[in-house]
Amino acid sequence: MIITPSILTADFCELGQTMDEAIEAGIDWIHLDVMDGNWVVNRTITFGPALIRSIRERVGPDIFVDCHLMVTNAEENWNQYVDAGVDLVIFHIEAVKDPVSLIDKLHSRGCQAGAVLNPATPASAILPYLPNLDLVLIMSVVPGKGGQSFMAEMEEKARTFRSAIDSQIDSGGLATKLMIDGGIKAHNAAQVAEWGIEVAVVGSGLINDKGSIAENLAEIHDALSA
């Protein structure tokens, strides 16, 4: 399972050093949470294309960079994030009127397209678009609301997507990746891997004051291999 850090838990004044530390620890995928102060529950504003462009320049072309757009106008400003250098744009299915058009536009720019759904949104909201999606992100917490516990009840949704993706691959279709985000740490990483998750976003479980990114990553890998 790929572990990708969410930089929201990082000290933004030391962000470049954090990126360097993550890459030195073996991280090759960076996850960027973009909040517009409107879509998320706590109305937080995080960062936009300018900072993403700086991150891309810092990490170089060999690191995979995605952005999770927790915004209301992804259909209007998706191109700004592609211009900033992301490899994958993940949009909220609840906030987009025409997913097919947005997926096609992203692919036309050479950018991968992903869709994410809130815990309360059923898998059926995304399944019709699965054949053209490079990634599906399952939220295991409510986006933007801090201090939440991991929602183990997302297992059924994860297994639904895993089965659909496996059937798609068996039929010669796209190998859509399955990602999870929210409350993932060393103690539950193996649990979600067993569900069929291929990519796990880890925030405070990876970037914290208890240990270095390398130490925390090693702990997660140990849990996965136990």
Kindly report, residue by residue over 61-113, the tens digit of the pLDDT. Answer: 999 999 999 999 999 999 999 999 999 999 999 999 999 999 999 999 999 99
- Catalytic residue, candidates 33, 36, 66, 87: 33
- The answer to whether residue 41 scores a pLDDT higher than 80 is no
Instruction: Confirm whether 33 is a catalytic residue.
Output: yes
**pLDDT for 176-206, tens place per residue?**
999 999 999 999 999 999 999 999 999 999 9
From the candidates 36, 66, 87, 181, give the one annotated as an active-site residue.
Answer: 181
- The 3-class SS string of 92-139 reads EHHHCCCHHHHHHHHHHCCCEEEEEECCCCCHHHCHHHHHHCCEEEEE
- CA-wise closest residue to 223 among 178, 186, 198: 186
Q: Is the pLDDT of residue 40 over 90?
A: no
The pairs formed by 16-21 with CB atoms below 8 angstroms and a separation of 24 or more are: 16/58, 18/207, 18/213, 19/55, 19/58, 19/59, 20/58, 21/212, 21/213, 21/214
Structure letter (DSSP) for residue 148: P
Backbone CA torsion sign across 79, 84, 87, 88:
negative
Domain 2-225 sits in which CATH superfamily?
A: Aldolase class I (3.20.20.70)
Q: Give the per-residue pLDDT at 146.
A: 61
Indicate the pTM of the whole model: 0.96
Whether 55 and 65 have beta carbons less than 8 Å apart is answered as yes
Q: Is 134 a catalytic residue?
A: no
pLDDT, one tens digit per residue, over 118-152 is 999 999 999 999 999 999 999 999 987 666 789 99
* Exposed/middle/buried for residue 9 (C-beta within 10 Å: 0-12, 13-18, 19+): middle
pLDDT of 38 over the 90 cut: no
- CA dist 109 and 144 (Å) reads 29
Confidence label for 55 from pLDDT (cuts 50, 70 and 90): very high
Whether 143 and 118 have beta carbons less than 8 Å apart is answered as: yes
Rounded to whole angstroms, the Cα distance separating 65 from 50 reads 14
